[in-house]
Amino acid sequence: MIELKVQCDCGQKYKFDVEPVNGQMPFTVACPVCGVDGTEKANGLLQQLPPEPATQPSKPVALQARLRISSSAPQTTSPPPPPPLAPVTAVAPPPPIGAMRPAPAPAAAAKKDRGKPSFGLGLLGGALGTLVGTLLYYLIFHFLGFRLKLLAVGVGALAGWGAEYLGRGEGSKELGGLTAIFVLAGIIGAQYLVALSWWHKAVPSSMFNSAYTNSVIEARAVIKAVPTGSDEEIRNYLAQEQAGEDGEVGAKPNPASITKEDIKEFREKDLPQFQDLASGKITHEQYNAIHGVNTIREQSQDSEEGTFKAVFLLLLLSRSNLVSLCLAAGLAFKMSTNA
């Protein structure tokens, strides 16, 4: 048995016991640090050894020998070989793009963040949204004159948003139905008020106001013709009026046809009214009350109001207006019910 010492190229020294066979290593050896095969170097060392005297055959030696690492081996050697790579495993394909999207948060969690749903607050939100939308609708129609029916959809959107926001996503069909009713009532009311204001502007009412003005002008003319109120002045004025009422072209006044009763009646009844009108003692309202102008105006307005309602009903039931109302109510219902 021979103790053989081998120095690896990395500088590590190691030794082992071996029984050569025909001057060769009966097994392979390797550096315990870097793992390089040192069998060839070991065979070279065996060939350099002197031949040993013949001895009795020894027992078969084991093909394995225990390596003993020299403690004098340098410590600053090349780094050890890297560990073996882990086996490559199959990587699962990435999920499809649609699957990578985060799942939407549950509706219950969203409601919890906003607070407890409330039907009453949702109803209030729908009413407030309808009020604001209807006011804007009326102002745009009345002052700007825009007649776009789709403006009604904006009223439905505001009402639906108000019901959904203040109701904290209550989303019941009852809330949606009431909000849609609010929208329909608000839009129809705004259309009625706008159309009524346009109707009053189109129908002249100056004839009722001009009656008082004409009477004042006439009274001043009478006072000018009858400055002192004497019988002679009254007779001449009444004769002049009588000639004008006859309607004959070129007719001359006939003072002799005026009786004392005519003069007395004019002085006691007509002349005081002319004097009060000319001096402004009788106001416009008093004049209308005396002559029943207010009653005539009310009767005329009632007749006009009936005509207006009939015309408005025809416009309300027009196809374009019905479509805009349905769109507004449907949008309010959808938004307030989270449909």
Nearest partner of 142 among 198, 205, 203, judged by Cα: 198
263 and 326 within one domain:
no
**Structure-token match 């938004």, residue found:** 335
Residue 224 domain-assigned (yes or no)? yes
161 and 286 within one domain:
no
> What's the mean pLDDT in 213-220?
86
242 and 117 within one domain:
no
Tens of pLDDT, residues 271-316? 888 888 888 888 878 777 776 666 666 655 556 666 777 777 877 8
Highest mean pLDDT among 58-67, 203-212, 330-339: 330-339
CB-CB contact of 169 with 111 (8 Å): yes
324 and 199 within one domain:
yes
Residue 312 domain-assigned (yes or no)? no
Helix/strand/coil for 264: helix
Domain that includes residue 129, residue range: 113-204+320-336
265 and 236 within one domain:
yes
| Residues 206, 318: Cα–Cα separation, whole Å | 32
Residue 14 domain-assigned (yes or no)? yes
Residue 307 domain-assigned (yes or no)? no
Residue 184 domain-assigned (yes or no)? yes
Residue 58 domain-assigned (yes or no)? no
| Residues 12, 70: Cα–Cα separation, whole Å | 8
As given in the structure block, the two tokens for residue 296 are: 């005539």
Helix/strand/coil for 332: helix
CB-CB contact of 226 with 285 (8 Å): no
Longest CA span, the chain = 196
Confidence of residue 38 (pLDDT cuts 50, 70, 90): confident
195 and 247 within one domain:
no
183 and 146 within one domain:
yes
Predicted TM-score (pTM) of the model is 0.41
179 and 222 within one domain:
no
325 and 197 within one domain:
yes
Contacts of 263 (CB under 8 A, 6+ apart): 231, 234, 235, 238
Residue 57 domain-assigned (yes or no)? no
Q: Provide the number of structural domains found in the chain.
A: 3
Give, in order, the Cα–Cα distances in Å from 290 to each of 142, 194, 196, 206, 299.
36, 34, 29, 19, 16
| Pick from 64-78, 104-118, 125-139, 209-223: least confident | 64-78
| Angle value at C-alpha 7, between 6 and 11, nearest 5 degrees | 160
- Looking at every residue in the chain, the average pLDDT score rounds to 76
pLDDT at 11: 84
> What's the mean pLDDT in 150-159?
87
